[in-house]
Amino acid sequence: MDEYKRLNRELIARGAIIDYYQDTMQIPNGNVAKWDLIDHKGAAAVVAVREDGKLLMVRQYRNALERETLEIPAGGLNGRDEPTDRAAMRELEEETGYSCDRVELLISIYTTVAFCNEKIDIYVAHGLKPGKQHLDDDEYLNVEAYDLKELVQMVLDRKIQDSKTICAIMTYAAKFA
């Protein structure tokens, strides 16, 4: 046997944004193992650069870390079929109040490949226009603006630890700085 074979997938718990499964897998050497899977419908994020060159960031409390984090605007898809470019534009406006003319795909990432299938498409927003935030009922966040060089240094100093934000900042810096 030279392949992996799923023998069973059992739904353990259904959550608001993820579902937790336990898979029974036969691995290439013939052994059987139990593997956890977190199923996520996907997400979109956006690097938003104002005309003055500053990047819009959101500071918000993250329950998993029990502290605030500094991140690029992002959010889950409303459904697996929602185009990620539309979701990125929606999240930009909801979280920062800014709308944009269009977005361009920067990079796609899988956040935690060992046990989760969450994919985040990260875009760059073009033609930003200020407006009004439209936060969800469970959201409370502050919008802040930073120079790219400052954000890169915050990544290197381990002050920014969110994976999508690190990927976005460093990819944007490599591509556009």
Q: What is the residue-averaged pLDDT of the chain?
A: 95
Asked whether residue 49 falls in the same domain as residue 28, the answer is no
Residue 140 has pLDDT above 90, yes or no: no
Residue 77 has pLDDT above 90, yes or no: yes
What pLDDT does residue 91 have?
96
- Tens-place pLDDT, residues 21-61: 999 999 999 999 999 999 999 999 999 999 999 999 999 99
Q: Which domain holds residue 13?
A: 5-39
Neighbours of 57 (CB within 10 A): 26
Asked whether residue 34 falls in the same domain as residue 58, the answer is no
User: Any idea of the CA torsion for 68, 60, 53, 86, to the nearest 10 degrees?
Assistant: 140
d(CA 56, CA 46): 9
Residue 2 has pLDDT above 80, yes or no: no
Asked whether residue 51 falls in the same domain as residue 21, the answer is no
- Kindly report the CATH number assigned to the domain that includes residue 140: 3.90.79.10
Domain count, the chain: 2
Q: Are 151 and 58 in contact (CB under 8 A)?
A: no
Asked whether residue 21 falls in the same domain as residue 46, the answer is no
Neighbours of 35 (CB within 10 A): 15
d(CA 163, CA 156): 13
Asked whether residue 25 falls in the same domain as residue 107, the answer is no
Q: Which tops the pLDDT comparison, 133 or 159?
A: 159
**Section 134-152 average pLDDT:** 91
Asked whether residue 32 falls in the same domain as residue 85, the answer is no
Residue 1 has pLDDT above 60, yes or no: no
What pLDDT does residue 138 have?
81
Q: Which phi and psi (to 5°) does residue 99 adopt?
A: -110, 175
Asked whether residue 77 falls in the same domain as residue 130, the answer is yes
Asked whether residue 62 falls in the same domain as residue 89, the answer is yes
Instruction: Identify which of 105, 74, 96 has the alpha carbon closest to the alpha carbon of residue 87.
Output: 74
Residue 145 has pLDDT above 70, yes or no: yes
Asked whether residue 66 falls in the same domain as residue 119, the answer is yes
Asked whether residue 52 falls in the same domain as residue 25, the answer is no
